[in-house]
């Protein structure tokens, strides 16, 4: 447990309404992020990572409904009106979006983006102060002042991503949610972005939720990691512990699928994440799990704590809640037959 979390999420659910039914994108998620801490959120595409990040900030479409608690500064962000939330977004809570080219207005100079952001949230700043703070923040990102009046299309993808980070940091938020900040970047630019994110806690004391599918980034940049599958957090703990000894079968499978210089054989996870309109009624990973037991078909797993780590899996208990005969292991053929039915 974190003594003084910047943000504390409890039983957060985010559902989307569709013509096919309700999509349970985030289902009873709880996590804390401490001051100057980097928490990595990992999992396959479609597991709810981006929805969780946006749900924390209340940036959801009209078709979405959410409940639970997102405690920040002693207040529940989920009970605030849209007008109240605007006072927190930017100065207190920042977000780095995916695809920076689609987030920067192609008709506005970089200077205009910064001016608009600061005038919206800090209207008392003079034009000189706005320029000074903007150039200082861009300088930390390695963008020279000579490029301040250029348009987004005049920058490379990596530089546009740095500009997006600078736009989030210019308001000096206490919590920053970075949604796939290195997607589509080459490894050199990726390393530069990671270096910038690593400096956040030293220069700003910022807490960071880093959403990514890249486990290598998490191993290098994060203090803790939360593994998400089918809308749920299935494992959470110190990054070094999770990587050294993963407890959940899904975490183990993700790590086996990672390619490194020592890789001699390629591994993948059979199947695909479930349809979140009608997920499996008990354990959501059961149809793909090589360790599946009878109880996994019957009861939703109960969260268990193992050495300061949280794991959502019957393999780790609580054993007194497993019915008699429930620990019997299912064969792969039994799982396939059950799935086809």
**Each residue of 60-89: pLDDT tens digit?**
888 899 999 999 989 999 999 888 888 888
- CA 24/CA 221 separation, integer angstroms: 30
How sure is the predictor about 288, in pLDDT bands with cuts at 50, 70 and 90? very high
Residue 105: CB atoms within 10 A of its CB come to 11
Clarify whether residues 113 and 211 are in a common domain.
Answer: yes
pLDDT at 263: 72
Clarify whether residues 328 and 194 are in a common domain.
Answer: no
* Burial class of residue 95 in the structure, from the number of CB atoms within 10 Å of its CB (0-12 exposed, 13-18 middle, 19+ buried): buried
Instruction: Tell whether 191 is covered by a domain.
Output: yes
pLDDT at 61: 87
Range of the domain at 313: 280-341
Exposure string over 164-180, b if 16+ CB within 10 A, otherwise e: bbbbbbbbbbbbbbbbb
Instruction: Tell whether 249 is covered by a domain.
Output: no
pLDDT at 340: 41
> Average pLDDT in the 267-283 region?
90
pLDDT digits (tens, 9 = 90+) for 157-213: 888 888 988 888 888 888 999 888 876 667 777 777 778 777 777 777 889 999 998
Clarify whether residues 183 and 287 are in a common domain.
Answer: no
Clarify whether residues 164 and 309 are in a common domain.
Answer: no
Domain count, the chain: 2
pLDDT at 285: 95
Q: Which residues contact 182 (CB under 8 A, 6 or more apart)?
A: 161, 189, 190, 193, 194, 212, 214, 217
Q: What does the block give as tokens for 314? A: 């019957």
Clarify whether residues 134 and 215 are in a common domain.
Answer: yes
pLDDT at 339: 47
Instruction: Tell whether 49 is covered by a domain.
Output: yes
Clarify whether residues 9 and 156 are in a common domain.
Answer: yes
pLDDT at 341: 37
Cis peptide before 318 (omega within 30 of 0): yes
Clarify whether residues 83 and 158 are in a common domain.
Answer: yes
Domain boundary among 201, 217, 234: 234
Clarify whether residues 189 and 289 are in a common domain.
Answer: no
Domain boundary among 176, 207, 234: 234
Domain boundary among 199, 234, 269: 234
Q: Which is nearest to 101 in space by CA: 53, 143, 145, 163?
A: 163
pLDDT digits (tens, 9 = 90+) for 223-258: 999 999 999 999 999 999 999 999 999 999 999 888
Clarify whether residues 162 and 86 are in a common domain.
Answer: yes
Clarify whether residues 224 and 309 are in a common domain.
Answer: no
> Average pLDDT in the 14-41 region?
93
Clarify whether residues 204 and 308 are in a common domain.
Answer: no
Q: Name the pTM for this structure.
A: 0.88
Clarify whether residues 25 and 141 are in a common domain.
Answer: yes
């Amino acid at each position: 447990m974190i003594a003084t979390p910047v943000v504390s999420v409890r039983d957060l659910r985010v559902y989307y309404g569709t013509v096919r039914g309700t999509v349970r994108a985030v289902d009873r998620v709880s996590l804390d992020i401490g001051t100057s801490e980097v928490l990595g959120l990992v999992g396959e595409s479609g597991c709810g990572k981006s929805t969780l990040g946006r749900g924390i900030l209340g940036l959801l479409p009209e078709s979405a409904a959410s409940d639970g608690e997102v405690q920040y500064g002693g207040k529940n962000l989920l009970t605030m009106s849209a007008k109240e939330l605007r006072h927190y977004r930017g100065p207190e809570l920042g977000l780095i979006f995916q695809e920076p080219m689609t987030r920067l207005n192609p008709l506005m100079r970089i200077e205009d983006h910064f001016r608009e952001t600061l005038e919206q949230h800090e209207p008392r700043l003079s034009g000189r102060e706005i320029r000074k703070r903007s150039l200082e923040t861009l300088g930390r990102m390695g963008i020279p002042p000579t490029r301040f009046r250029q348009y987004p299309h005049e920058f490379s993808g990596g530089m546009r991503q740095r500009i997006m980070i600078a736009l989030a940091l210019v308001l000096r938020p206490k919590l920053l949610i970075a949604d796939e900040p290195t997607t589509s970047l080459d490894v050199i630019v990726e390393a530069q972005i990671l270096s910038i994110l690593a400096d956040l806690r030293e220069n700003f004391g910022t807490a960071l939720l880093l959403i990514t599918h890249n486990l290598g980034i998490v191993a290098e940049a994060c203090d803790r990691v939360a593994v998400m599958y089918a809308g749920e957090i299935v494992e959470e703990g110190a990054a070094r512990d999770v990587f050294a000894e993963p407890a959940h079968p899904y975490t183990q499978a993700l790590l086996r699928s990672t390619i490194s210089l020592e890789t001699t054989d390629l591994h993948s996870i059979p199947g695909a994440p479930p349809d979140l309109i009608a997920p499996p009624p008990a354990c959501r990973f059961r149809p793909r799990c090589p360790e599946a037991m009878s109880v996994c078909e019957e009861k939703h797993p109960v969260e268990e704590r193992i050495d300061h780590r949280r794991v959502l899996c019957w393999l780790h208990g609580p054993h007194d809640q497993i019915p008699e005969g429930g620990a019997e292991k299912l064969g792969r053929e039994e799982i396939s037959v059950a799935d086809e039915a």
